Structures are given as C-alpha cells and as structure tokens.
Structure 1
C-alpha cells in the first residue's frame, strides 16, 4: 500500500505551524509598536480625510515622504506572507488568496486604528489603513505565488518519486510463470 502525502503532509504541517508561530509573534510586536502609550508634549488632530496625510507627507519633501510612506507600507507587510503561510494551502486561487489576505490586513489595520483612539499619544490616521493594506498586497504579490508554485513543484516531485520506488512493506509484485501445455 502506498503512503499518500506522508512527506507532503508533514511539510505542509510544518509550514502551517511555523506560519502560525511567526504570525502570533509578529502580531505581538505590532501591538507593542502601535498600542503603547507615548509621552508627547502635544498630539495632532486625527486624520479622517482619505489621502490628506499622504499629501501632507509628500509636501514635507522627498526624504521625509519616503520614510513615512515606507513605514506605513512596511508595518503590516509581513502579514501578506504570514497569513497564507498559516493557512497552509498550496492549491488555491491566486486572486482569492490575495483578496482574503488584503481583507484580513485591512481589518487588522482598522482594528489597530480603532484601538489607538484610547491610547495616549497615539493618533488615528485613515491613511494608515490604506498604506497598511497596500503593503500587505505588495508583499503577498511579491512572495506568495512564487513560493506556492515552488512548494507545489516540490510536492509533485516527491509524490512522483514515491510512486516510482517500491514500498518495502508490501514487497515485490508476484509474477506468474507461463505454464506450458503438454501435447
């Protein structure tokens, strides 16, 4: 009897467990960064107008704008890889995976912004949701399709190799010699 997916199943399980552990650790880091109280002498008003904060960052000059926009894009970008990794599916629609990951990133970003309303020194910025979601999408598009294709190729190669070699528990297939008929 063949063992279906013995190597592939354990590999998927290892990827899922690693993705789950890394996801929890990363979310703890994000919570610490975004939800800790800050001692500041003054706090700017909340930005509830879409793209107003991005325009203000661009008006400060290219160096400051790049730094601030990269921080917004990069904060939740690892979720674009960690969420599908924790899901552990190899055969899934690329568009569906992207949409699920972006939705989860947007909802997490919205949750962070809502929680920041009660944290001293933290300011709500609607543009953070946009930048964080776009960062999740970019990371997902840059890494996940290629990683899934590589893992699928590896699983197919292992499955093909398992079919080609004999299963020692079963033994060789018996052959029946031709029996001659006497005249």
Structure 2
C-alpha cells in the first residue's frame, strides 16, 4: 500500500497557472518594529488557476496550496515570500480558479525596498495524507511560473504598474 501511495505522489496537477495582473507599491512607515522608517509595501493582484484533482488518492486528506514570490537582491541571494494560500479538502472543489486575487499576506522586503528586482511567482502545494508523510510539490515548468519586476518608487511617492497587458 505504501508503494502504491508513493507512485501516486509523483503526480502533478493537470493545470497550474499564476499570472500577475497588477502590482501596487507604497511607502509605509512601520512604527511598530525595531527598525523604524519607511519601507516599500506591495499589493499584488493575480489570477490563479489550478486543477488538483489528480493529487487526490485514497490516502489524501487535504491539499495545502500556496502562491509564493521568489527574488534575488544584492544582499540576499534567495528570498521567498508566501502571498496567498488555501486548503482543499477531499470532499470540496479541487479546481482553483480565482481572478483578481489580492495577496493575503504582507509583502515587504527585509532591505526596506524591492528596488525594481524581478520576482518569480510560483504555485506550491503540500499533500496532507490520512496516514504517512506530507508530500511537497512545486510548479517546475516555465509555463507555470510568472516573472515580472517590482516597480521602482522615486521621491517618496507611490506608483502603480498595470501588468494586465503583460503576456508570457
């Protein structure tokens, strides 16, 4: 039974797509933290589409799905921030189709500025079994990832970049 479950755990979702439609960056004064001062704070609007039906087996209890952004800065080689997440239960709808979704979680950089870096938006998932180990998966193909730059902010003003016309 374990070998059967391992075989099915190598499956990937039949459809994975995340597309950023808008990024808004504001300067915000984080007074409640030790490192006081202005920081860039981003809101990302995205379209998410994924079909996780193929990941459900007899041993699947739930699937935790998240969208992360990865980027590299001059001071930190690998940055990962979770933007959005949901849990799909066995008896619920296994297809996620969400338009104009705003990030659920705060998006700001440790260096106080995104400084126009490129971000790669990726869907990840964890299959939570009834019995056994949690299995991790991640979109690997370039068709399942979305790359775009964070907008630059000049003179302490916020600006909006609209990526709705941006194509892969």
Q: Same fold (TM over 0.5)?
A: no
More strand per residue:
2
More helix per residue:
1
**Into which bin does the TM-score normalised by the smaller protein fall?**
under 0.3
Taking CA–CA contacts closer than 8 Å with sequence separation of 6 or more, which of the two structures ends up with the larger relative contact order? 1
